[in-house]
Amino acid sequence: MLHLTEGGGLRVKGEPPPPRERDRGFDPPHQSDTRTVYIANRFPQHGHYVPQKFADNRIISSKYTIWNFIPKNLFEQFRRIANFYFLIIFLVQLMIDTPTSPVTSGLPLFFVITVTAIKQGYEDWLRHKADNEVNGAPVFVVRSGSLVQTRSKNVRVGDIVRVAKDETFPADLVLLSSDRAEGTCHITTASLDGETNLKTHFAVPETAVSQTVSKLESLQAVVECQQPEADLYRFVGRITVSLQGEEIVRPLGPENLLLRGARLKNTKEIFGVAVYTGMESKMALNYKCKSQKRSAVEKSMNTFLIIYLGILLLEAVLSTILKYAWQSERKWDEPFYNEKTEQEKNSSKILQFISDFLAFLVLYNFIIPISLYVTVEMQKFLGSFFIGWDLDLYHVESDQKAQVNTSDLNEELGQVEYVFTDKTGTLTENEMQFRECSINGVKFQEINGKLVPEGVTDDSPDGYMPHLTGEEELFLKAVSLCHTVQINYDQTDGPRDTFLQANGVSDPVEYYASSPDEKALVEATRRMGVTFVGNNGENMEIKTFGRSEKYKLLHVLEFDANRRRMSVILQTPSGEKVLFTKGAESSIFPHARSGEVDKTRVHVDEFALKGLRTLVVACRRFSAGEYEEVDRRLHEARTALQQREERLAEVFSFIERDLELLGATGVEDRLQEKVQETIEALRLAGIKVWVLTGDKHETAVSVSLSCGHFHRTMNILELVQQKSDSECAEQLRRLARRIREDHVIQHGLVVDGTSLSLALRQHERLFMEVCRSCSAVLCCRMAPLQKAKVVRLIKTSPEKPITLAIGDGANDVSMIQEANVGIGIMGKEGRQAVRNSDYAIARFKFLAKLLLVHGHFYYIRIATLVQYFFYKNVCFITPQFLYQFFCLFSQQTLYDSVYLTLYNICFTSLPVLVYSLFEQLVHPHVLQSKPALYRDISKNALLSFKPFLYWTLQGFSHAFVFFFGSYILMGEDTSLMGNGQMFGNWTFGTLVFTVMVITVTLKLALETHYWTWMNHFVTWGSIAFYFIFSLFYGGIIWPFLHTQDMYFVFVQLLSSGSAWFAIIIVVVTCLFPDVVKKVLYRHLRPTSTQKSQVIEAYPGTSCLDSACCFSEGKSGFAWLGRLVERTMSRCDLARVTRWWRNSDPFCSNDRSVLTRSPVAATRC
């Protein structure tokens, strides 16, 4: 017998491998392309042997260890511009004499770094905890002649592992034996590739007989295989078994490898040898390296910080230059009250210039808000609890609530433009159910386990055996025989099925199938009285209403994507040779020569419109001569050494012709609840949905149609089964040309994994052009890393859209980690996706609220928080800069150092924090019912340059009003006290500071739409706290303070009626233009969100053209009165008689999945 060698050559069975091949274990690790695994780690006793080093079996999804947490976390935190900047400022304050204490920068910096480190450390601890659960799972291994229980992390390459039924494989194992004599086992790889069907794996004959621990202990064998790679479907190796002094070499392929994460089914137990462990297993290699995800808001913050850093440097340079320009006159350079020391006179001018520049830098450094980061961190951490507390995201059946693994990306939920979703277990429930069928042109449906013609009710008693015609019985027999279903008999004590008892089957059976459709169909025929009993490889047995029939299995014509059908050739109990075939309608109808073809085709279309997965069933009877020719041609094709696949395809085509059409089936691939509504809502919100699945083409398209991802009127384009770059490029050009020529029809694109690889190799731009022109894209037969490549392709495109990936299996981990936001579904395929995701939810339907409500809230809250922080710090530090023009740029501070430290920490911190936790521009129900509102905040709208410029200019203008309003009031020789006493420097600074605290707090109050008792408490409480604190701080001589500059200053300021008048005038002057601007914009250019606010306030109103109320018979000047009414929330919408504009897309009546037409002119 010939065997394939590693290099591709052949060797005679029993011939020992050459020494170079056999001694691969001597090679240093990773210098060879293969690894040598000695089963049970029985290394050769002779010669010098250096074993290869292999990874242990630990799975690591965490980012930090106890040793690298501090340096790695500090490095990541100081990558933030503000943190690094304040570190530099702190060091400058330590090195030179500056106007403010180092504590003013060091303390906030330490607080920010500590809080962030605690938060990130806690989140990583949760990942460690999840890893420990996996790594600590119990595993049985064969060691020293006995079965030993150990932990998963202790499994080594070469260990013989025992896995029992329904357990997952703890490492990548080469199958050695099973409880079956032939050495086969069945597994499901749902958590790896999303396929729920059963796969059969094999052991080589020489090891299959070792079914006990004692036999395995005496097994002398060596596995040589390739080094670890990520491809789930590729494995090349060989096993050398020593039997009675002879070495037998057998090739190993994917059918011999049991992958980590897969689950053993329909087999009592198996033994396998570990070849790839831990992070070298194929499942782990398909994980993408975990990287720090940064939200678009954080990137905007860094951009704004750079701009403000430029403003800071400009102010510091300008102040330094103006200082020296002013001091060019001697009377200002060295006044009589401030003579220079000898050291100052002899110091270097350059060093003095640098020192002054750094001093101004420190003086103005508060324009960069370090407290912004700690407030953002607190807002994200505290705000993330709302997701877990949301009862609408709680799944009662599984008792699972939504969980947040990474709170850094909360606001990114409001910016998603692309959703990439897995199919199996994410969109579907992994449950198939038979619904309808067509037999000989008559439609039937299943009612109470009976086959009932459409329109007929079932009123027969339970247990009644329905009478079937010959055609109906033949159809059910064809369905129960044309498959590759495996059977497992479960010895249970539960109640038995009525039909099973009637059929004489003593024990309940569990079916396992290579296709979920096959399992659903065989279970359906069992309920209807035709039960598939078993298949021993040669005979298939069924029982028809208790009557046993045995069919001899002659040939199986396997399913393939080109034929899109599968067939079996059987010998009936009467000796007749018959072919049963089933497949897609497009592959059966053209070959049908008899039967009700036209009626069945109509029924198939009706089934498809209901979202059912359809299969057409047919048969062909052979004469003795015909079968002899069929058997001969099949034997020749299957034993051919050249062009075997082409010859088999030719023979299959010869056999599967002149068919007699029997009927069609309709099976429902049960979708999760509200999947179609969720996809529609996402589409109306402007989010594009792509489905990426490892499932086959037909299944994926069927589910896409049933869930609304593809529409029935959509023109489906295909890029599948491309063989070469040139063929792929030509097909892409044809698709692009077809899309350009047809401007009306909506297009959907279907692409498979092989074609995708070719498209991404050299034709990326053309592929992207086709994808962007399609309303929906479906990628099938995708390997896990291919899913990540598709996500990266969109994420890195020139538009840099925000992507979200959602899935439930280990095969989805790569795309979950690659996307800007990764969401895991707590499904039936393990916890790998949940552990590696940023957020986890129990059902796909929860995605709508997570994005449209929570995403909307998080984004508007944090966007306003960021803009407000920069605004209030501009207000804070600009008067300090203006004050230098009045103090000869002597670096004198306008504010007391305590006020400098507490401004961001105490006086203005709580209102914006509470705002960022509770603000709601629109009620959650409105956001869910009007997904189009999501478009208002898309593309980082609230943090674009225009809003940033508005807030910054408003900050500068308010700062000028604070400073010069106070300056004009005080004048040069004006006394504001009743006794004629003059105000001093600290009183002036305190007046500016008081006006500023009140104004910036009321500014946030104007921005607040959703008021709670906490908003009221912190808003008015912050102002009250400032006054109370200032009274205590300035009213008592504090012994621990070096200076008492502020003693009695605040009391003196408040004792002046003119000062109170000035405070009111300046605050009103700052905020009145803002109020006018808001009123005018609401009247003239209302946004969709503002319209929704009015509709929310007045639920009886279904549509509104403007936020202003109009009534009949009013003059044109009446709008001013209505503006006042609107401002005071007294607008009576019952008087509204305005018309909708046709161009306004806000309140579309069109609920189509594909289009949103403008609303027809309708009276409110």
User: What residues are labeled active site?
Assistant: 422
Give the position of tokens 């489905």: 691
Burial class from Cβ neighbours inside 10 Å (0-12, 13-18, 19+) for residue 475 reads buried
β pairing state of 688-692 and 776-780: parallel
DSSP classification of residue 506: -
Q: Cα dist. 611→140, 420, 746, 875 in Å?
A: 45, 22, 19, 61
Instruction: Give me the helix-helix angle, 1118-1127 and 1057-1084, nearest 10°.
Output: 110
Q: Cα dist. 614→152, 666, 748 in Å?
A: 43, 5, 20
Measured torsion, CA atoms of residues 1003, 1004, 1008, 1011, in degrees rounded to the nearest 10: -110
The secondary structure of 613-681, three-state, reads EEEEEEEEEECHHHHHHHHHHHHHHHCCCCCHHHHHHHHHHHHCCCEEEEEEEEEEEEECCCHHHHHHH
- The CA distance from 613 to 607, in Å, is 8
The distance from CA 1073 to its chain's CA centroid, rounded to whole angstroms, is 43
- The CA distance from 210 to 1000, in Å, is 80
Count CA atoms within 13 Å of residue 345 on its CB side: 6
- Cβ–Cβ contacts within 10 Å for residue 906, how many? 14
Using alpha carbons, select from 584, 585, 583, 551 the residue that is nearest to residue 569: 551
- Cβ–Cβ contacts within 10 Å for residue 1017, how many? 13
Query: Residues 970-978: contacts with CB within 8 Å, 24+ apart?
Result: 976/1056, 976/1058, 976/1059, 977/1052, 977/1055, 977/1056, 978/1056
- The CA distance from 521 to 579, in Å, is 18
**Is the Cβ–Cβ distance between 513 and 483 less than 8 Å?**
yes
DSSP 231-279: -TT---EEEEEEETTEEEEEEE-GGGEEPTT-EEES-SEEEEEEEE-GG
Q: Which residues of 324-334 are buried (b: 16+ CB within 10 A; e: fewer)?
A: eeeeeeeeeee
Return left, alpha or beta for 556; rule: phi > 0 is left, psi -120 to 50 is alpha, else beta. Answer: beta
- The CA distance from 74 to 89, in Å, is 17
Using alpha carbons, select from 452, 394, 423 the residue that is nearest to residue 516: 423
* Through-space distance between the first and last CA atoms of the chain, rounded to whole angstroms: 86
Cβ neighbours of residue 179 under 8 Å, at least 6 residues apart? 211, 267, 268, 269, 270
